[in-house]
Structure 1
Amino acid sequence: MPVGAAVCGRVVERARPEVHARVDADPDERLSHARELGVTAYASFPLGTRDRVLGTLSVGSRTRPAFEQPELFVLGLAADLVTVAAARDRDAAAVDAAVSARTAAEDRAAHLERALVTNRTITTAIGIVMARTDRTEQQAGQWLTETSQHTNRKVITLADAIVHTGALDS
């Protein structure tokens, strides 16, 4: 139902409840759908706050001409409870999204930290190979890659051993 159309649309638009008695005798065009359904008493309550209405809790009766004040009070409380539940779900979803974003950021930071440490270790190992074998940086890097393949070890594992022991025959 578009905002402003029918009673429930107007309740959303104004963010205020509306109650109608003797719907069958009320000429208000906004009640035409309720009349078509045979409703004689109608009440509609906004679900949400003045700033953000999510929809309405609308109730009609075919057996009575009007709702009594205690019934309207209970229906208003029910609308408030639905609003609180919807807000809680929305807030929980926002918290879940924030936690997921934080976890993803922490994972990226940890990955970058590991990559930085790995890069430093490999670069240090290349420097050691250059110093010990009189190779250029490119040649030392190639030697590290080829030695890794021949010994069936990861480059980082080989580089770590070279950095910690200084030995090139590990």
Structure 2
Amino acid sequence: MPDALPSDPDGRTPTSDDLVRLAEAMELVAVRASLSRDEPLTALVTATVERLPGADAASLTVLRGGKFSTEASTGEDAERADALQYEIGSGPCVDAVLDDNVYVTDDVERDERWPEWGHRAHAATGFRSVLAYRLTLLDDSGAIACLNVFSRRRAAFGRRDIGTGLVLATHGSLLVTALVARDRAENLRRALESNREIGVAMGILMQQHRLTREQAFDVLRVASQDANRKLVEVATEVADTGTLTITRWPRGLPDGRPQG
């Protein structure tokens, strides 16, 4: 958490009604995510803006393979603010990810931690206040995420907002973890399907042309290169038709005629 929490702009302390509304927000995110398989992160950033009174925009950043990207946002200004951080290599979002912390700033133009980003972001978007939460992902994917909240008001976020945002960020951690796991499972399924098609095609070529496994794979590879097609596409065609269209055979292999 930040070293010194700002006071709430309206001076009000959290109530049981606040907790009820926050629980409703979590339910709304879950419902939106279930209804829109491809946009659950958009549901998260939208709910964040709806539940933080001072917020004008929100986004979700993911660091994967050493590269930052904005995976969801409520608009172009949030994406511009993020892109500037990625370009400069510094800012509340980037630093929250790298430092595993929560960052809050009341006026980006006067914040000495991010002088270049603050001036450029304000000029481009009008944002002044920012909240940035690193999300704790419960897997070993190596991805790191951050929930970013922006406001055009000075000192827009107080203690209550930071607490609400933290709950939203915790929910976001679970959501991003689930999505990463889903993507990895889908990629694995596709890889297994591709390997199956390649294996079937190799078996057909081995039987028809008396080839070894290595030779059959070389034939598929050459056919893929010459036709400028993906290897799995060529393999699927062989598996479906039992024949291979090829302009040349690898050197040292049979001429392509089935071997009796």
Q: TM-score, normalised by structure 2?
A: 0.35
Whichever structure has more helix as a proportion of its residues is 1
Q: TM-score, normalised by structure 1?
A: 0.50
Higher relative contact order, structure no. (Cα contacts within 8 Å, ≥ 6 residues apart): 2
Larger radius of gyration: 1
